[in-house]
Amino acid sequence: MFHVKHSAYGPDDFQRDTNVSRETLSRLQAYATLLETWNKTTNLVGPATIPELWFRHMLDSAQLLPFTQDLPDLVDLGSGAGFPGLVLAIMGQGNVHLVESDQRKAAFLREAARVAGAKVTVHAARFEAVKGLPTTQVCARAVAPIAKLLDLSAPMASKTTKFVFLKGQNVEVELTEAHKIWTMVVESHVSRTDSTGRVVILREVSPHDRTPNVPGHVPGTPG
């Protein structure tokens, strides 16, 4: 799909593959420059991935936009260095909430949003402690297995919440485990940056009936 080594993949390649404007690219470059500076003293991303920043992190995040831009809100669970939520916000995704419990990373997110001119809300807290988040859609990248992500999201999610996850080669194992607990409609797309990875979209997510097996009890009715 791509004709350059990942380490040689840069801003111009990113613009060609995403068709962002020069103004948006400039904002992403400001974000990237800040990340490289902060990463020398704060562990935002693995140092070995910095040479592949535009492919491994920027493009990997940007590929979610076609799957999220149809809805007005987005909650990025465990945003870390801003992937994917901050990239999506810079590219035009509306009302993005970045949830990151690490205070140093949250400080970086605020500064990166300022430098890039991105309108986001940063929540420096654990996801389950944040109140009042929109319930439209949730995204996550490299945070936890699917079953755990759904469990964390349960307090704020509804049957109409859409989940958009970037997952690696173990995605089928994760989905199998998640199906043991959750009912869901699954949509899967091959990742643009990793042929073994997937963009997983979950809809109509709800837990299986967890009512204890009480004698005389009819499943699906109050105990």
The domain spans of the chain are 63-207
Look at residue 210 in the predicted model and tell me its pLDDT. Answer: 55
CA angle 41, 44, 48 (to 5 degrees): 90
Q: How far apart are CA 21 and CA 213, in angstroms?
A: 58
CATH superfamily, region 63-207: Vaccinia Virus protein VP39 (3.40.50.150)
**What mean pLDDT do residues 140-157 have?**
91
Q: How far apart are CA 24 and CA 152, in angstroms?
A: 32
Q: pTM here?
A: 0.90
CA dihedral 191, 195, 196, 199 (to 10 degrees): 10
Look at residue 5 in the predicted model and tell me its pLDDT. Answer: 52
Look at residue 128 in the predicted model and tell me its pLDDT. Answer: 83
Instruction: Give residue-wise pLDDT tens across range 4-62.
Output: 457 689 999 999 999 999 999 999 999 999 999 999 999 999 999 999 999 999 999 99
